Structure 1
């Protein structure tokens, strides 16, 4: 799952408050400790399906109903090399004048498109990008079956996308000219 040489790029970013617990969970899974239906074998199998050098992007927005706004809660990029995660960085590590400030990033298509464009150039081509709200993220991350056994996380994510609760962009989508 993790490369022998794993690099954390910008650990001082404010977005690390949300990333750090995810990294801790991933390290437990790396040590063969299943967690809410996630296990090393299924994650490794997914990583092996990816291009030899690519990135996985995740943006999660928290909805503040009282203020009627969405703020970026988790924004990170995993760089994958030969089926292993070799680096992890937050959106704060992306350096491009066209990218709005983190506090101004919205879950809409135009900001997603900019994040993907910049990640393609500064990290590696984006194989998959997931943009969602925190409630959907928590549901995907934590759901197991009624008996607490693992479920197909890929199918659950696809179901959330079909319900309009997240946007999942795959490499076959990201490389079409009309999406750049």
Structure 2
């Protein structure tokens, strides 16, 4: 396995915030797939959704994850919330890195994203219902695509980083032991 940590999870779970701090702690670089797509498309995720639709954006995510995972060594990668929903993407991530699902409750998401207009899937009425429906659908998919599931609601960023770093180190040591046996 490459020395890469991939953070997956629902929007607002803290992938970018924890990812940046984890990268500092590990002395790795940090990559955010949504930012990468926005930089290359020269438009925001919301603009891509509005102009081209969700399917087009999901295709961009797949192209991006293929490119990034080829070069992602000593990197913390924060994915968009929907990226691991495609089985192909989840398989690429799991094969090329230590995937951590940052699990969050709907009430936490709603509180963190209150007033955020940049999330196309949460626009309109009944935001609580949309969050609940999306979480119910996505949770088992995120779990399937992860090496580790970490509940983040009651944790500080420092605690999240510490938990991930400890488990990543153990995974790397185990991987090294297996390689030494071969």
Structure with the bigger RCO (C-alpha within 8 Å, sep 6+) is 2
More helix by share: 2
TM-score (normalizing by structure 2):
0.29
TM-score (normalizing by structure 1):
0.29
More strand by share: 1
